[in-house]
Amino acid sequence: MTVINAKAKDLKTISNKLKENLNEEPIEVTNASHLHGLVAGLKHGEVIIQGNAGDYFGVLNAGATIRVTGDSGNYTADNMTSGTIIVDGNAGYGAGQYCYDGSVIIYGDAGDFTATMNKGAVIIVAGNVGDETGTYMLDGDLVVVGDAGENFANFLIRGNVYIGGKWKSLGHNTRVEELTQGDIEKLSGYFQTYDIKADPTKFTKIVAASEKPFYK
């Protein structure tokens, strides 16, 4: 495994080193918490960030598997198109915004506006989420194992939202539905794949009341 020490180095230097070493073997990056926009736009490969990561971690990911062993800053996985991003700790504000596809797995908590305008990704938070999570979601699956803040799934347009805990308030254009057998099997698959201890039968499913909430 190639190890890159990012201590006292700038983003351009580390990004160039990543591109030079991106091959069949995973790359490990240490001391990178000061870098914002790290591992942006990768199309392949596997990168492990040891410790914490800064803002815009994994932005525009286009096929790589990226993991941070600590916490990540704001806007993790912003505009991701494919691949997998895993955060072993907590994620800040706006995790998984504007994602088109791929998977975002956060084992800790995530901040406000998580999964805003998700367009097709699978976004799983094993802990709790903040306010306005799932706002303007257009497609994909959002799974919250813990609790949610205010305006959960606000102005939901399409896609599926699943929550194992409680929410402070639901947003506009939401409707609670019964879980189907297909939902339970899908959740079971997610939990098994990502080693999340949760009972899929205990989840609540939230869908859009209307696909055109802004029109009468």
Sketch the domain layout of the chain as residue ranges. Answer: 1-108
C-beta separation of 84 from 68 below 8 A: no
Average pLDDT of span 40-54? 95
What are the percentages of helix, strand and coil residues in the chain, rounded to 5?
10, 30, 60
Q: To the nearest 10°, report the CA torsion of 119, 134, 145, 199.
A: -60
**pLDDT range class, residue 96, cuts 50, 70, 90:** very high
Average pLDDT of span 12-30? 90
The residues near 44 (Cβ < 8 Å, ≥ 6 apart) are: 22, 63, 64
Average pLDDT of span 60-80? 97
Residue 177 confidence (pLDDT): 93
Distance (Å, rounded) from C-alpha 189 to C-alpha 138?
22
**pLDDT range class, residue 214, cuts 50, 70, 90:** low
Give the start-end residues of each E strand in the chain.
Answer: 2-5, 27-30, 46-50, 62-68, 82-87, 103-106, 119-125, 139-144, 160-163, 174-177, 204-208
Q: pLDDT per residue over 166-186, tens digit each?
A: 999 999 999 999 999 999 999
C-beta separation of 126 from 196 below 8 A: yes
pTM of the full structure:
0.95
Residue 215 confidence (pLDDT): 52
Asked if pLDDT for residue 65 goes beyond 80, the answer is yes
Q: pLDDT per residue over 189-204, tens digit each?
A: 999 999 999 999 999 9
Average pLDDT of span 8-24? 90
Distance (Å, rounded) from C-alpha 41 to C-alpha 167?
34
Asked if pLDDT for residue 149 goes beyond 90, the answer is yes
C-beta separation of 39 from 13 below 8 A: no
For the chain, what is the mean pLDDT?
95
